[in-house]
Amino acid sequence: MGREAADMSTGDPVGDEAVAQEDGSGRARRRAPGGRLVTLLLLLLAAFVCGVALGKFAGLERGQISSALIALTPYVTAGGGLLLLLALSLRRWLTALVVAMVTAVLAVSVAPRVIDDEPAAIGGHSLNVLSANVYFGEADASQLVRLVRENDVDVLSMPELNSGMVDELREAGLFETLPHRVLTPEADGDGSGIVSRYPLRELSLVSDSTMRQPSALIDLPGERDVQYVAAHPVVPVGGDTTTQWKHEITSLPAPTTGRDEPTRILAGDFNATLDHTPLRKLLGRGYSDAAELTGEGLAPTWPELGRPWAPPVTLDHVLVSGDTAVHDYRTFEVAGTDHRAVFAHLTIPS
């Protein structure tokens, strides 16, 4: 009967999960379950996690696909944790080690977005900021005006503004609530605008860009004013647009630092997440992201409609400079647009 009979007589199971092999020293080792196919699949998944991490930290945004994958970093981080558990359960120790190290690095970069930083107690003027991408003028103007009134908004920026949307906002009463405005409506979603409770003076803080990015000085009560930019860099869809996207984000004006200067706020649709290199470089110059400061840095803002295949990501931001305090951050659904509006309650130091 030989070995098969011996196996049957001892009751030992036969199969990949239980087959014992002898190594060179004569000791038995157990074959990892699943065989080569499972090993290959785990290696491919591990390579994907490593590739996204490399793209993020090495700044490898080269086009639409790579930029989109880097935007999924929070999802990849969570997936890396699951992959680690799977690799451990299947006894792929080397794969588990690599995935553990890469996932840990990604987690360290993402974790600050869900940690609430207590704002410093400072004296100054309260300012409520709202930015809403109005989606080629298709956003519900009446709902937007209600949001402004219900949240006591002082400044509203509106990427993708056209002249038809301006008329609808006027009819809905926006300019009665926020009478001061710098509007640059354009067709095809290239326009934008800033409206304010306080007097505005148009500035030119942003160099030429694909889409309009107006800026203005907000004359607040007291000694300290605000320079405000309605940000809207181009979408990185590959080729020259990706190069232009990087340029338009990194060339946005640097934050102000001195108490004798107006504080600076950038708010709008950046077409970038906190994982994209251009936005990280901009933040590295001294800006803070209002969502990250309040522990809401993973709150998605896009897409809201028409793209069921796209995982929600955070493309809209309110960036503040200097010692501006952020007390609250929220996002709101606005009918008719594919972006959520973003709101921040700030204190501008005096």
Residue 21 token pair: 């092999």
Does some domain include residue 201? yes
Q: What stretches in the chain show pLDDT beneath 70?
A: 1-30
The pLDDT value given to residue 6: 42
d(CA 45, CA 38): 11
Residue 344 token pair: 């921040």
Query: Where is the domain boundary, 94, 113, 132?
Result: 113
The Cβ-side half-sphere exposure at 317, using a 13 Å CA radius, reads 30
Identity of the residue numbered 51: G
Query: 3-state class of 244 per DSSP?
Result: helix
Residue 123 token pair: 């004296």
Specify whether 195 is located in the same domain as 273. Answer: yes
Element (H, E) at 263: strand 263-269
Query: Where is the domain boundary, 113, 141, 175?
Result: 113
Quick one: which of 184, 188, 191, 127 has its CA closest to 159? Answer: 191
Q: Which domain does 292 fall in, by range?
A: 119-349
Does some domain include residue 3? no
The pLDDT value given to residue 101: 98
The count of domains in the chain is 2
The pLDDT value given to residue 29: 56
Does some domain include residue 17? no
The pLDDT value given to residue 123: 84
Burial, 4: exposed, middle or buried (Cβ in 10 Å; 0-12, 13-18, 19+)?
Answer: exposed
d(CA 279, CA 348): 23
With a CB cutoff of 8 Å and minimum separation 6, the contacts of 186 are 161, 162, 211, 212
Specify whether 182 is located in the same domain as 289. Answer: yes
Does some domain include residue 64? yes
**Structure-token match 């309009």, residue found:** 212
- Is the Cβ–Cβ distance between 222 and 254 less than 8 Å? no
Specify whether 86 is located in the same domain as 147. Answer: no
